[in-house]
Amino acid sequence: MSKIPTRVAACALFTAAACFSPLSLAHGNHTHGHGNVQVSVDGAALTVRLDVPLEAYLGYDYPPRNEKQQQVWQAFVERVADPLRFVEPPAEAQCKLSGSRTEPALGEVDSKVDIANLVHEIRFECAQPEALKSLSFSAFRDHPGLKQLRVRLERAGAKKTQTIRPRFPALVF
């Protein structure tokens, strides 16, 4: 039985430690340009939870570090304040915005901490939920770095998963 040379074992141990260290995981579990979305329809309530790498929205995934990035950041914060710039229910469903929030809260971002993903939860109450047969993802219009969204829909006990891309940015129920 041969023994593994000490240098090889040490190198393997170092590589494994580097791959699973908190520093390597700190950037989050994501792929640039790709996001995940959970859509839930419960009676008249529509909830959309976008989990997208900040890089897909801004072109970088850390707090602004110069004047140009500060301008991009400010424009993004203004877009987030209007959730219809990210998702649009069909007009026939007569959905009204009932709330939205982001994690992390954009006004509380530490300028020394990278932001891996931004979670944006948007809630609507729909007067005509039976007309809720699709959902448009308007986020593609303002964010060319956003390439695709993996959407999971839960509605009336049924589940559906679909990949949405800029060419056809809608989920059909």
The per-residue pLDDT for range 22-46, each reduced to its tens digit, is 333 334 456 879 999 999 999 999 9
Q: Report how far residue 86's alpha carbon sits from residue 93's, in angstroms, rounded to the nearest whole number.
A: 17
Confidence band (pLDDT; 50, 70, 90) for 83? Answer: very high
Percentage of residues of the chain with pLDDT beyond 70? 82
Question: Are the beta carbons of 130 and 90 closer than 8 angstroms?
Answer: no
Give the mean pLDDT of the chain. 85
Strands 45-53 and 158-164: unpaired
Which one, of 40, 44, 67, 30, lies nearest residue 145 by Cα? 30
**Beta strand residue intervals within 76-138, DSSP E:** 95-103, 117-126, 134-136
Does the structure show a pLDDT above 90 at 52?
yes
Which one, of 31, 60, 49, lies nearest residue 147 by Cα? 31
Question: Are the beta carbons of 45 and 125 closer than 8 angstroms?
Answer: yes
- The reported pTM is 0.81
Our separate counts of H helices and E strands in the chain read: 5, 8
Confidence band (pLDDT; 50, 70, 90) for 65? Answer: confident
Look at residue 110 in the predicted model and tell me its pLDDT. 75
pLDDT digits (tens, 9 = 90+) for 89-98: 999 999 999 9
pLDDT digits (tens, 9 = 90+) for 127-167: 999 999 999 999 999 999 999 999 999 999 999 999 999 99
Q: Report how far residue 138's alpha carbon sits from residue 80's, in angstroms, rounded to the nearest whole number.
A: 12
CB atoms within 10 A of CB 145: 15
Q: Report how far residue 164's alpha carbon sits from residue 162's, in angstroms, rounded to the nearest whole number.
A: 6
Look at residue 26 in the predicted model and tell me its pLDDT. 38
